[in-house]
Amino acid sequence: MTAVDLGVPDVQAIRSDEDVVRVRQLVRTTAVAAKLSLVDQTKLVTAASELARNTLIYGGGGTAEVTSVEDGRRRGVRIVFADDGPGIADLDQAFTDGFTTGGGLGLGLSGARRLVDDFDIWTTVGEGTRITVTKWSR
Amino acid sequence: MERVPILKIGDILLVSIQVDMSDQTAIQLQEDLAERIVATGCHGVIIDITALDIVDSFVGRMLSTIASISKVLDAETVVVGMRPAVAITLVELGLSLNGIRTALNVERGMELVAATRADDWDALDGDDEDAETTATP
């Protein structure tokens, strides 16, 4: 079953620290509306927080597009993080636990991938990065 | 930017985080706490995260850093009130919260701070006794 969008996406710009907080709040609201369990809401909001921070710090800012989706059996929430930053040169390295170029813990990408059901990344050096994640209700 | 208040109760500084903190607010809290520990001479810091619905790697790192800073300034840090969903998520995220002591609620956190301080004093007394024994022929 392919995923079908339910309604138009909510778009939140990521330009500052406070925007990362706004992304978390938007994702939480959408996850509650999609009837995700409390643990799944928590995992998705945490993943969104990591990825929004990456968009800000490494991508130099961008957007988060939050959409309620369904695949016929279950509902879910899809988030697309997009930036026009430098891109990621070595994806394998970027997904290694503990690897960081930004002074963080190096858990952002790898940790976020573990917390969601679907994870897709497109990145090109010099053009930017797009990360799409989806969390489904059980 | 919002600022997280720090309350002094006896020998303990109590921080109850009630807002969804921006990264700047978290860094500010780290600095404010270090200053208050030195200014008050308190020996315990309790951070209540009951109201936090997520702890991501940034906040997790802040908690570890606060624990390390407090240790250097002769104070024990205990994090209390972590929600079950937050604990499950933290483990899956891969955060181990190294060096952080936790308790289920503020009351148990205060007991833990008191017990740790008492153990430290016992250990000191123990050292003194050893020293005396060696000194006496």
CA distance A45 to B53: 9
Comparing CB atoms, the residue among B21, B53, B60 nearest residue A42 is B53
CA distance A64 to A11: 6
pLDDT band at B136; cut points 50, 70, 90: very low
| Residue of B54, B62, B63, B65 best to disrupt the A interface, most CBs of A under 10 A | B54
Predicted local distance difference test score (pLDDT) of residue B137: 47
Predicted local distance difference test score (pLDDT) of residue B110: 94
A114 touches B at CB < 8 Å:
yes
Average pLDDT over residues B94-103: 86
Q: Which residues are CB-contacts of A88 (< 8 A; sequence separation ≥ 6)? A: A58, A94, A121, A123, A125, A129
User: What does the domain layout of chain A look like in residue ranges?
Assistant: 4-136
Predicted local distance difference test score (pLDDT) of residue A1: 59
CA distance B109 to B106: 5
Q: Is the pLDDT of residue B132 over 60?
A: no
Q: Which residues are CB-contacts of B113 (< 8 A; sequence separation ≥ 6)? A: B12, B43, B44, B46, B76, B78
- CB contacts under 8 A, A 73-102 vs B, are 97
Selected from 3.10.20.740, 3.30.565.10, 3.40.50.920, 3.30.70.270, the CATH number assigned to the domain covering A4-136 reads 3.30.565.10
User: What does the domain layout of chain B look like in residue ranges?
Assistant: 6-135
Q: Which residues are CB-contacts of A127 (< 8 A; sequence separation ≥ 6)? A: A84, A87
E-strand ranges in chain B read: 6-9, 12-16, 44-48, 76-80, 101-103
Quick one: CA torsion of B31, B34, B38, B40, rounded to 10 degrees? Answer: 90
Average pLDDT over residues A59-86: 95
Chain A residues lying within 8 Å of B24, measured CB to CB: 17
Q: pLDDT tens across B64-75, in order? A: 999 999 999 999
Q: pLDDT tens across B13-69, in order? A: 999 999 999 999 999 999 999 999 999 999 999 999 999 999 999 999 999 999 999
CA angle A116, A122, A125 (to 5 degrees): 135
The minimum CA-CA distance between A25 and chain B, rounded to whole Å, is 9
Contact B89 A46 (CB under 8 A): yes
Q: pLDDT tens across A28-62, in order? A: 999 999 999 999 999 999 999 999 999 999 999 99
DSSP state of B64: H
Of the ranges A100-109, B55-64, B72-81, which one carries the lowest mean pLDDT score?
A100-109
CA distance A3 to A78: 10
Enumerate the β-bridge partners of residue B14. B7, B46
Nearest partner of B93 among A39, A2, A83, judged by Cα: A39
> Residue A69 to residues A78, A136, B23: CA-CA distances in angstroms?
7, 9, 30
Contact A46 B94 (CB under 8 A): no
The ipTM of this complex is: 0.88
| Residue of A50, A96, A105, A116 best to disrupt the B interface, most CBs of B under 10 A | A105
- For residues B110-128, one letter each, b for 16 or more C-beta atoms within 10 angstroms of the residue's C-beta and e for the rest, the string is bebbbeebeeeeeeeeeee
- Of B123 and A24, the one with more pLDDT: A24
Instruction: For the domain made up of B6-135, give the CATH fold.
Output: Transcription Regulator spoIIAA (3.30.750)
A18 touches B at CB < 8 Å:
yes
Q: Round the average pLDDT of chain B to a whole number and report it.
A: 89
> Residue B39 to residues A118, B32, B69, B86: CA-CA distances in angstroms?
49, 10, 14, 33
Contact B57 A111 (CB under 8 A): yes
Chain A residues lying within 8 Å of B54, measured CB to CB: 24, 42, 45-46, 49
Q: Which residues are CB-contacts of B80 (< 8 A; sequence separation ≥ 6)? A: B46, B47, B48, B49, B50, B102, B103, B104, B105, B106, B108, B109
A29 touches B at CB < 8 Å:
no
Contact A39 B88 (CB under 8 A): yes
Nearest partner of A96 among A81, A80, A111, A117, judged by Cα: A111
A137 touches B at CB < 8 Å:
no
- Of B70 and B133, the one with more pLDDT: B70
Chain B residues lying within 8 Å of A110, measured CB to CB: 94
